């Protein structure tokens, strides 16, 4: 199993950049007092220009992070980085609150700083470099220092002469750290921003309100919504993101371990996908649609059928009242004593047939007959359909 690279950082942006290069790595974030180191360097190199100050601070902080990780983990291959944003001589670290973030954006966008902004940003720490351009906007500089520590037992016999010349021995007061070689470099990029529109102001307000600014030097990220404020970049965009990928691969490609390609044992079957036209899709939906539910005529009765049933029920009652009860005979059979003989009932379908009038007298008679039947049904039967119960 190959040795993995230890990334001494918790930055998700640096992790994503290493993933782009297919580098095999794990992460560990050492605790380093960055403020104390930066303040000491600012005191020593007071009055230096911001380009030189950016190189000094980021290079030293990257080295200290790598040494802290080596002291605690003893990993054979360690990578650390530090990024610093400087604008008009001000050092822009990670903002502590929304007010500081707003002041940083006012500075980056070239706005006139208020007294409140000056109080929050403090005094300039370096000599301002006049690179403001009327078209491109306000210029600021991003410096990213990189430090790679390689243990002496790692790749001892596999290093090329060119790489061996670039590796320097680490000399510290800790003997265990002196077993490492170091390779350090600093990359810088220039960024132009301009935001004197209502859209730019809304972008800044929404970005700060979402809380995306607090873990980034300079309060912004080039790969997020604040990219809309950037007019141009001079240099490597990955330097602005936090890890100069091209310089890293150019100087350390022999040392950085790559992920091994996983062997594919089961090759999935490739299925042909047919693209259907709109007409074919419509025909397919019509074929797969469920068949309409058939209406059972035995269970659903029409209004005329219910009306005829009511007529039959009324006629049955009338004929039953005119029939005398039967008495048993000697042989046990029921016999009708007297009265009208019981006849099978036939439904009255006269109301369900269309009216065909031969003359006016016939029409009046049929209408009167229908009205009388309907009135009698209304008096004697409460189960009529609703449209027959109305006057």
Give catalytic residue positions. Answer: 82
d(CA 250, CA 156): 20
Let me know how long the chain is: 391
Instruction: Report the Cα 297 to chain-centroid distance in Å.
Output: 54
d(CA 338, CA 325): 9
DSSP-H helix ranges across 300-359: 303-321
Q: Inter-axis angle of helices 34-44 and 50-73, to 10 degrees?
A: 140
Contact yes or no for 233/190 (Cβ under 8 A): yes
b or e along 333-356 (b: 16 or more beta carbons within 10 Å of the residue's beta carbon)? eeeeeeeeeeeeeeebeebeeeee
CB atoms inside a 10 Å sphere around CB 62:
27
Strand 334-336 to 326-328 pairing:
antiparallel
Instruction: Report the Cα 278 to chain-centroid distance in Å.
Output: 30
Which residue has 């309907």 as its token pair?
374
d(CA 69, CA 31): 9
Element (H, E) at 100: helix 98-108
Sequence-distant (≥ 6) Cβ neighbours of residue 267 within 8 angstroms: none
d(CA 113, CA 104): 10
| Nearest residue to 149 via CA among 74, 82, 83 | 74
Contact yes or no for 226/206 (Cβ under 8 A): no
Q: Inter-axis angle of helices 198-209 and 98-108, to 10 degrees?
A: 150
């Amino acid at each position: 199993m190959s040795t993995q690279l230890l990334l001494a950082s918790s930055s998700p942006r640096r992790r994503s950049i290493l993933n782009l290069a297919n580098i095999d790595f794990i992460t560990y974030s050492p605790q380093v007092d960055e403020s104390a180191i930066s303040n000491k360097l600012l005191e020593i190199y007071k009055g230096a220009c911001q380009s030189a100050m950016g190189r000094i601070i980021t290079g030293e902080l990257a080295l200290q992070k790598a040494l802290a990780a080596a002291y605690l983990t003893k990993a054979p291959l360690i990578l650390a980085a530090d990024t610093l944003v400087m604008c008009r001589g001000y050092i822009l670290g990670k903002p502590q609150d929304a007010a500081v973030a707003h002041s940083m954006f006012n500075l980056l966008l070239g706005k006139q700083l208020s007294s409140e902004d000056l109080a929050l940003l403090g005094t300039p720490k370096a000599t301002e470099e006049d690179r403001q351009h009327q078209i491109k906007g306000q210029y600021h500089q991003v410096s990213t220092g990189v430090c790679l520590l390689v243990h002496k037992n790692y790749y001892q016999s596999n290093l090329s002469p060119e790489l061996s010349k670039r590796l320097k021995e680490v000399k510290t007061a800790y003997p265990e750290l002196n077993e490492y070689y170091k390779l350090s470099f600093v990359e810088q990029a220039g960024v132009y921003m301009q935001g004197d529109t209502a859209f730019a102001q809304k972008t800044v307000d929404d970005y700060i309100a979402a809380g995306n600014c607090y873990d980034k030097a300079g309060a912004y990220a080039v790969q997020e919504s604040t990219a809309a404020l950037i007019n141009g970049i001079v240099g490597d965009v990955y330097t602005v993101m936090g890890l100069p990928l091209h310089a890293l691969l150019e100087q350390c490609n022999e040392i950085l371990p790559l992920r091994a390609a996983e062997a594919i044992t089961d090759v999935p079957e490739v299925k042909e996908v047919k693209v259907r036209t709109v007409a074919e899709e419509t025909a397919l939906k019509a074929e797969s649609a469920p068949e309409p539910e058939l209406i059972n005529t035995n269970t659903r009765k029409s209004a005329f059928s219910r009306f005829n049933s009511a007529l039959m029920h009324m006629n049955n009652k009338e004929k039953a009242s005119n029939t005398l009860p039967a008495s048993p005979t000697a042989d046990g059979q029921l016999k009708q004593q007297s009265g009208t003989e019981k006849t099978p009932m036939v439904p009255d379908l006269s109301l369900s047939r269309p009216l065909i009038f031969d003359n006016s007298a016939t029409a009046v008679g049929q209408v009167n007959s229908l009205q009388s039947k309907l009135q009698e049904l209304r008096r004697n039967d409460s189960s009529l359909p609703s449209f027959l119960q109305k006057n």
